[in-house]
């Protein structure tokens, strides 16, 4: 294994919002094993941080969110090692998807291969007008390995996912918005401010309710409608045992901002 690089994940905390920056710009933020491990550790730590209510994930430098996995590192991997790398990447995607905190991907430049997969694992994606998305793995003789074939199909539909994966084509931000791959497109200078503004709105709401909403949406997506609605009803009822519910409704009736404590 090559010598470890300096830490490549930076975390900045501003009140209830965490900004996580993938800082490997010379390699276009390509996902090495070390970087995937650092990201997984960061997500795990922020998920139990008492003050954090929303997280933003972005890439350092001007050219890429994440341009893909580190091909130089992957090239000589035997099958067992390659599968282990995919499993670690999948664990990172699951950690983002199942985190009790919402994650906003703020994408500029390239989000290809593992970068697109990383963004797909977040709750939603904001993109600059210069962003580029794609799953070009078939051009390397492999397929997406960090959840791309599955999350892409769930987000944009199976037909469009097949087209993007089979061709390996790269699409621009406007096309990504049109097909539902991203949720908002803004000028580059507005990308982080837009993500921060949304994160601030989320952070002002009841954190237990946000976590339950995220869980119910995720778990209910693969259930029959009746079972999914029952899941929602149970969560709704259980939230009436929280101090946040009492504070939120009291604040509404008193016409004042709620002071949620996550209790």
CATH number of the domain at 248, please.
1.10.12.10
* Same domain, yes or no: 113 and 217: no
Compute the average pLDDT of residues 244-263: 96
Q: Which listed residue (87, 117, 232, 263) is catalytic?
A: 117
* Same domain, yes or no: 168 and 73: yes
**What radius of gyration do the chain's Cα atoms show?**
19
**Residue ranges in 105-179 assigned as alpha helix (H):** 114-120, 148-156, 158-167, 173-178
Report pLDDT digits (tens) over 131-168.
Answer: 999 999 999 999 999 999 999 999 999 999 999 999 99
Residue 34's domain comprises 9-203
Query: Is 117 an annotated catalytic residue?
Result: yes
How many distinct structural domains can be found in the chain?
A: 2
* Same domain, yes or no: 213 and 94: no
Query: Is 163 an annotated catalytic residue?
Result: no
Residue 243 forms part of a structural domain: yes
CA distance 232 to 248: 19
Task: Give the dihedral sign, CA 71/77/79/83.
Answer: negative
Report pLDDT digits (tens) over 8-43.
Answer: 999 999 999 999 999 999 999 999 999 999 999 999
* Same domain, yes or no: 226 and 171: no
Residue-wise over 98-107: b if at least 16 C-beta within 10 A, else e? Answer: ebbbbbbbbb
Report pLDDT digits (tens) over 172-218.
Answer: 999 999 999 999 999 999 999 999 999 999 999 999 999 999 999 99
CATH code for the domain of 192: 3.90.226.10
Contact 69, 75 (CB under 8 A): no
* Same domain, yes or no: 221 and 187: no
* Same domain, yes or no: 192 and 222: no
- Which pairing describes strands 54-59 and 17-22: parallel, antiparallel, or unpaired? parallel
Residue 121 forms part of a structural domain: yes
* Same domain, yes or no: 75 and 196: yes
Residue 223 has a pLDDT of: 96
Q: Which listed residue (5, 73, 81, 137) is catalytic?
A: 137
Residue-wise over 54-65: b if at least 16 C-beta within 10 A, else e? Answer: bbbbbbbbeebb
């Amino acid at each position: 294994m090559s010598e470890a690089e300096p830490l490549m994940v930076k975390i900045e905390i501003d009140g209830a919002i965490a900004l996580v920056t993938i800082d490997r710009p010379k390699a276009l933020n390509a996902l090495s094993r070390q970087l995937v491990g650092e990201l997984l550790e960061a997500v795990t730590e922020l998920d139990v941080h008492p003050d954090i209510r929303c997280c933003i994930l972005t890439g350092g430098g001007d050219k890429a969110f994440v341009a893909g996995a580190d091909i130089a590192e992957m090239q000589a991997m035997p099958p067992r090692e390659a599968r282990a790398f995919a499993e670690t990447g999948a664990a990172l995607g699951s950690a983002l998807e199942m985190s009790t905190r919402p994650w906003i991907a703020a994408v500029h430049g390239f989000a290809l291969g593992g970068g697109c997969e990383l963004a797909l694992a977040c709750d939603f994606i904001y993109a600059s007008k210069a962003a580029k998305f794609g799953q070009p793995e078939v051009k390397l003789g492999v397929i997406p390995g960090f959840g791309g074939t599955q999350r892409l199909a769930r987000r944009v539909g199976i037909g469009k996912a097949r087209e993007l994966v089979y061709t390996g084509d790269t699409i621009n931000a406007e096309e990504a918005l049109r097909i539902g791959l991203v949720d908002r497109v803004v000028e580059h200078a507005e990308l982080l401010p837009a993500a921060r503004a949304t994160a601030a709105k989320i952070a002002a709401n009841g954190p237990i309710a946000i976590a339950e909403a995220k869980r119910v949406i995720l778990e209910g997506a693969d259930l029959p409608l009746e079972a999914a609605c029952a899941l929602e009803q149970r969560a709704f009822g259980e939230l009436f045992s929280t101090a946040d519910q009492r504070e939120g409704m009291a604040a509404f009736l008193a016409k004042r901002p709620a002071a949620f404590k996550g209790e």
